[in-house]
Structure 1
């Protein structure tokens, strides 16, 4: 009949045979806390609750099931979770257990299989039978015990699910992990547990449906028996009643069945609200009896279950007063309130529908007043009997159907393929890593060079000197690889680049003070270490090699270096001449270079400035000048003492020495001031220790005449070694 069809349609909404699934919802279910937690519990806890590691010199390896040992946990204190326990096996069935450098507990020795009991709890270390029960005494191991919910949180952060395409109901499940086997095990277990969850859910819905129907059957069975007795008694006492042709019970029955539908839903609604208020686990509450509102309430219950699970996880580490726990409580309370509001709203709608039906039934009941009293009374009794009987039969059919469904529950999830071990890591991509590495290296290198140049306040090259001062550049001195023990480079290595740069300076020097035959040359700098003595020795020698008579005087009376470089006594020198204790000829030393004589500083006097300004100094130079074409005065740094300034009063040429990448650009201010004051004659700058790529032909070789390129011969001996080094560094260098 039509009434039975409506009852069937109503109870079809309780049905455990769901229609097409919402894949977006299923994806969230797959990644949910409850499903992942169920999956983790189904995996081997020995390798999920505990992580095993081997420490190498450069790399720590996550061993997973390849660990040579396993840990059997008995009980652990909360502060033992996520702590590293270090093991060193001795190869004889024993091991030493330590707790890290930050823990003062001394290491302890145990036998494999012994029960370890300490402040952290109770556990045993066993050999892994799958690894042949062997451990490497040379390898340090450690393990970390996890709180039960820690692996759940880690797997949830790494699991993913997505649709194959919009036209199919196929889902792909992924998991990223440093250990491929662990990811594979997790995904395959997740598929199984998700499938079982669906079957368990169907079975649970079927059981709840049967319980609900049984309660209704108990009530309806008594009602059918009661009205059967009333009809039988009515017929005995009042006789057979013939109903009025224009009035049938079908009209009453239709409305009665529709009212029954609403009352069944209201009953299911009350049951659902009762379970929520009793604090029943949201994951096992069934919403299948709520008709079209099933999905609406089931999604809210799923969210409630997520929040309750998260709160349990927080309580494992914190008290109920913890701010995070309180925040979780507030979210749960808000969601429960929203659920209650939705339930009340749905209840109001059902009750309004029931009132509408009651009004219609009331209209039919008023129309009965026109029917003879006996007939009217019989119609009322028969109507109630029909409603009870039809409901009872329908409930019996549905119970039988639900029982069959419970016994024959099958999953509506089909695993097309289980996860397999990947052939290569998905991350990081080697090619991408190489590209990024090269890009980062280049970026850092360029940035370093840029910042270094921005912060570098030293002199870079001769061009920079020209731009920042009007004093002419006499030349540049090439970088000498090693001058220890042989400062006289122009004589020891006459074909070297250094010697050639001094030849260029010699040529330029001859153009200064051309009107003077016997030239006094002062060599100075701003600070020590800029190469004054080295320059003075070699420029003097290069002039002597041209046939000039040259005298080099060590006028640095505060920190003399000339005697050490030339290998002559330190106790005799110009100081004795200036104080009248020796003659000039007594303190002049010949050198290996013909035409080059040296007068060292001698003993350090207490009054060097006074000696340099004395009449004795003037007389000495006047005495020496006729005997020499050039007299070089190696003076102390002008930026530290005034001795060089005093000596410039006697000079014909003043050479100011700068050193590449050592002298500050600010030193040029001193040169400019001396030049502007016009107190110095024929002033020139020499840039010392210049790397080959830092100067051009303008200074290194620009003024040389007729020297050829013979100095390259000494450098060429290094070329085969250089090429070999380049080939080792860069394979394609040639």
Structure 2
């Protein structure tokens, strides 16, 4: 058995608190949620306004971000396809190639070159209305800074404020390194120099006297790292369409014109670097050929000089006899042909050695491929091209794989095998050339030996020098032809890309997006509203409506009393002042319902109590007694709340004598009885506060007093102390025929109702009933004041009948009532 069962005087609120707290989420109440929503509707609307306005403010003052893009398409053009071999053998290779080109576009070398060309060393800004609102004046600033130099690195990226006074002077303001504000008037086109920087400020062509002098400006001296970081943070490049081999380069900035200029500049730099990389191999080849041409040319000049000197020294002026000349000439022609072949073979041997050396280093494979174009051996040329192609594929694989993967290692083995085959071919060809050179040397020797002995030694020496001259001339012509061919190939080479779309200034910002911002605002409003309503619902531990009270309580509900809107310092008797008011009508409904419950007649005792102070029990007791008295019934009201009496305040009398003095015999009944403004309605105040109120209520004197009062009055009303605070109320309730418990909306806790249920069930207060005090339309007044038994008048039935003219109705409520009336009329039609 619980403490409440053992002790009849236990506090019902304490009994309710002794149990576990009620789990509101486990017993979800839709009607309660609707009431919470109605109650917080004004806050929800206010939140909506705040979120929409906040979205508008953020959207209004957020800087616009514009994007400008250029589209590039991969397309090999030119008279030479040397660099394109093997690159486009598969779609995967093309994608890898595009990714590699993007890395070049986003490389630091491109950033640095863009910084040099764009002149981003200084940024100019105009200030807006608010401190956080400013806009860059890119290439249209009314002033410009020139010949500057920064001595203190802390002045990089710092705001230097400018206020233009007129066409001659301006004010320069900045914060020094020590944190002090410095401001001084300077003249345009004069050098400003201090320990931090030096510079010259002059007016630009875009200066407008009226507008420029009214605005405030500032500029920043940007550090090199800041400029590079600025471009790197806003520059983007991505593969737009792999199948179409297109790349998109874009740049974002608050200034649309700046975004377009930066994008086009970066694309131009990329084209130049691409062309430069492609021509690098040709430059190496041309340099080699130019060196060889110079060497052969020097040798040719020396032999020609020797021939001239030899002729002068030996006085050779006449021609040889025809027969001798023809014989010698034929032999010499044969020797010359053999020597030309020997020169070609020597060059070929030298070329083989160069190619063999270049093949050992992967970085010179492209040069080796270029040299191989001079070879006559087609099989060897094809194998060198195969080595180059396989090496390119190996580099592409390294972008996706590691060197430890099997595929990569197999590729390396394949390349090594190909290189060995090339070496074998080179060795075989060299051996064959050496054999042919030996044969040529033997043939030359035989031909030289067959020259007639009649030829003088002088002619033989001259012919020998002339043979060397012819050999050098032939070699010179070959090298010069190769040089011209390579130069033409280089001149005809263009970049792999063409520009499909040039970047132009954007007209529509990509950020902020108005629709998205308002969606975020509505989302925030929805989240805050749900949070507000949810927390209010969860934290709502008070009785807020008649349906909720009915759901929580098993005790009959006698009725409701509407909320009294006028200010009242303490409970008063008001039902006789405005008998047609809604509140007076509610007490009439209570009187009717009491008749049904207990058949009010002679000797009826009604007790009015509550759980705690402030729930309106005195107000209910006073006006309930008054309304009963108006029905020609003699009623007396006893203030039994001896600790905190309020009945004397309700009637505006002194509390010097009353129940306390009456029970101890200091005052007679006639002296203690006071008369109210309503006939047949008397009251006895509490009197001076006694030290033992419980004992007085339990005394025989109190019972004798009740007997006497029953002889004089038909109904006795107890204004009892709160049963949740003291035990006096329980004692007096047992003497009542009709105990009434007052519950106030938005004040009484839900746990109080559980205590009322225990009083009704455990303590056997079978006739206990509840009055819901301070009810409003939203808390259940529409059910009717006599809800408990179906009697009485509700707002829905008596609107316009009651005298409520003094009640102030807000514009919102008036509009709502008008809308309800209009809907009813339309529904009737």
Match in the other structure for 2:136: 64
Question: Is 1:525 equivalent to 2:615 in the alignment?
Answer: no
Question: Is 1:357 equivalent to 2:425 in the alignment?
Answer: yes
Question: Is 1:511 equivalent to 2:596 in the alignment?
Answer: yes
Equivalent pair of 2:365/2:388 in contact (CA under 8 Å): no
Equivalent pair of 1:252/1:361 in contact (CA under 8 Å): no
Matches within 5 A, 1:228-627: 241=334, 260=354, 269=363, 352=420, 354-365=422-433, 367-368=435-436, 371=439, 373-375=441-443, 389=476, 392-397=479-484, 400-401=487-488, 413-414=498-499, 416-422=501-507, 424-484=508-568, 487-514=572-599, 517-627=602-712
1:374 to partner: Cα distance: 1.6
In structure 1, what is the Cα distance between the partners aligned to 2:675 and 2:219?
A: 79
Change (3 A) 1:399 1:243: closer
Matches within 5 A, 1:194-205: 194-199=267-272, 202=275
Equivalent pair of 1:40/1:186 in contact (CA under 8 Å): no
- Write out per-residue CA displacement over residues 45-77 of structure 1, whole angstroms, 9 at most, x where no aligned residue: 3664x7665463xx8313222999999985386
Question: Is 1:653 equivalent to 2:738 in the alignment?
Answer: yes
Equivalent pair of 2:582/2:802 in contact (CA under 8 Å): no
Change (3 A) 1:36 1:658: farther
The structure 1 residue matched to 2:262, chosen from 189, 197, 207, is 189
Q: Number of aligned residue pairs: give it.
A: 653
Question: Is 1:709 equivalent to 2:810 in the alignment?
Answer: no
Equivalent pair of 1:88/1:97 in contact (CA under 8 Å): no
1:598 aligned counterpart, secondary structure:
strand
Question: Is 1:722 equivalent to 2:812 in the alignment?
Answer: yes
1:619 to partner: Cα distance: 3.1
In structure 1, what is the Cα distance between the partners aligned to 2:522 and 2:770?
A: 43
- Which piece of structure 1 moves more, 66-75 or 193-202? 66-75
Equivalent pair of 1:112/1:127 in contact (CA under 8 Å): no
Equivalent pair of 1:89/1:96 in contact (CA under 8 Å): no
* Structure 2 unmatched runs, 5+: 1-77, 89-93, 308-327, 368-386, 404-408, 448-466
In structure 2, what is the Cα distance between the partners aligned to 1:580 and 1:195?
A: 114
In structure 2, what is the Cα distance between the partners aligned to 1:726 and 1:116?
A: 73
In structure 1, what is the Cα distance between the partners aligned to 2:495 and 2:770?
A: 97
Change (3 A) 1:367 1:357: same
In structure 2, what is the Cα distance between the partners aligned to 1:261 and 1:545?
A: 128
1:189 to partner: Cα distance: 2.7
In structure 2, what is the Cα distance between the partners aligned to 1:357 and 1:657?
A: 115
2:624 aligned counterpart, secondary structure:
helix
Matches within 5 A, 1:14-25: none
1:361 to partner: Cα distance: 1.4
- Which piece of structure 1 moves more, 689-698 or 348-357? 348-357
Equivalent pair of 1:570/1:600 in contact (CA under 8 Å): yes
The structure 1 residue matched to 2:291, chosen from 193, 218, 243, is 218
Change (3 A) 1:445 1:271: same
2:597 aligned counterpart, secondary structure:
coil
Change (3 A) 1:212 1:436: same
- Write out per-residue CA displacement over residues 378-429 of structure 1, whole angstroms, 9 at most, x where no aligned residue: 99x99997996576224531564488679xx99965475442341x443333
In structure 2, what is the Cα distance between the partners aligned to 1:400 and 1:37?
A: 31
1:364 to partner: Cα distance: 1.2
Change (3 A) 1:26 1:53: farther
2:743 aligned counterpart, secondary structure:
strand
1:11 to partner: Cα distance: 8.8
1:644 to partner: Cα distance: 1.1
Equivalent pair of 2:606/2:740 in contact (CA under 8 Å): yes
Equivalent pair of 2:639/2:718 in contact (CA under 8 Å): yes
In structure 2, what is the Cα distance between the partners aligned to 1:137 and 1:528?
A: 71
Equivalent pair of 2:637/2:716 in contact (CA under 8 Å): yes
Change (3 A) 1:108 1:645: farther
Change (3 A) 1:46 1:240: closer
1:60 aligned counterpart, secondary structure:
coil
2:537 aligned counterpart, secondary structure:
helix
- Which piece of structure 1 moves more, 87-96 or 217-226? 87-96
1:526 to partner: Cα distance: 1.7
**Root mean square deviation, CA, Å:** 5.8
1:667 to partner: Cα distance: 1.6
- Write out per-residue CA displacement over residues 287-307 of structure 1, whole angstroms, 9 at most, x where no aligned residue: xxx976998899999x9xxxx
1:477 aligned counterpart, secondary structure:
strand
- Write out per-residue CA displacement over residues 440-468 of structure 1, whole angstroms, 9 at most, x where no aligned residue: 42344234323432342222433333333
In structure 2, what is the Cα distance between the partners aligned to 1:593 and 1:685?
A: 26
Equivalent pair of 1:82/1:147 in contact (CA under 8 Å): yes
Change (3 A) 1:515 1:200: closer
In structure 2, what is the Cα distance between the partners aligned to 1:224 and 1:592?
A: 141
Equivalent pair of 2:105/2:266 in contact (CA under 8 Å): no
Change (3 A) 1:258 1:502: farther
In structure 1, what is the Cα distance between the partners aligned to 2:482 and 2:410?
A: 28
In structure 1, what is the Cα distance between the partners aligned to 2:687 and 2:729?
A: 17
Match in the other structure for 1:314: none
- Which piece of structure 1 moves more, 390-399 or 684-693? 390-399
- Write out per-residue CA displacement over residues 469-506 of structure 1, whole angstroms, 9 at most, x where no aligned residue: 32211122223333425844534444444333333222
In structure 1, what is the Cα distance between the partners aligned to 2:210 and 2:719?
A: 77
In structure 2, what is the Cα distance between the partners aligned to 1:661 and 1:90?
A: 66
In structure 2, what is the Cα distance between the partners aligned to 1:488 and 1:154?
A: 79
Change (3 A) 1:467 1:68: farther
Change (3 A) 1:480 1:194: same
In structure 1, what is the Cα distance between the partners aligned to 2:142 and 2:697?
A: 84
In structure 1, what is the Cα distance between the partners aligned to 2:353 and 2:670?
A: 139
Equivalent pair of 2:786/2:793 in contact (CA under 8 Å): no
1:191 to partner: Cα distance: 0.5
Equivalent pair of 2:542/2:749 in contact (CA under 8 Å): yes
In structure 1, what is the Cα distance between the partners aligned to 2:262 and 2:152?
A: 29
2:596 aligned counterpart, secondary structure:
coil
Task: Choose 1 or 2 for highest CA Rg.
Answer: 2
Change (3 A) 1:63 1:681: same
* Structure 1 unmatched runs, 5+: 1-8, 274-289, 304-333, 336-340
In structure 1, what is the Cα distance between the partners aligned to 2:673 and 2:180?
A: 75
Matches within 5 A, 1:43-82: 43=118, 45=120, 48=123, 54=128, 56=130, 60-65=132-137, 74-75=149-150
Change (3 A) 1:503 1:184: farther
1:560 aligned counterpart, secondary structure:
coil
1:626 to partner: Cα distance: 2.9
1:510 aligned counterpart, secondary structure:
helix
Equivalent pair of 1:259/1:354 in contact (CA under 8 Å): no
In structure 2, what is the Cα distance between the partners aligned to 1:480 and 1:387?
A: 125
- Which piece of structure 1 moves more, 291-300 or 427-436? 291-300
TM-score by length of 2: 0.62
1:666 to partner: Cα distance: 1.7
TM-score by length of 1: 0.69
In structure 2, what is the Cα distance between the partners aligned to 1:221 and 1:167?
A: 49
Equivalent pair of 2:285/2:486 in contact (CA under 8 Å): no
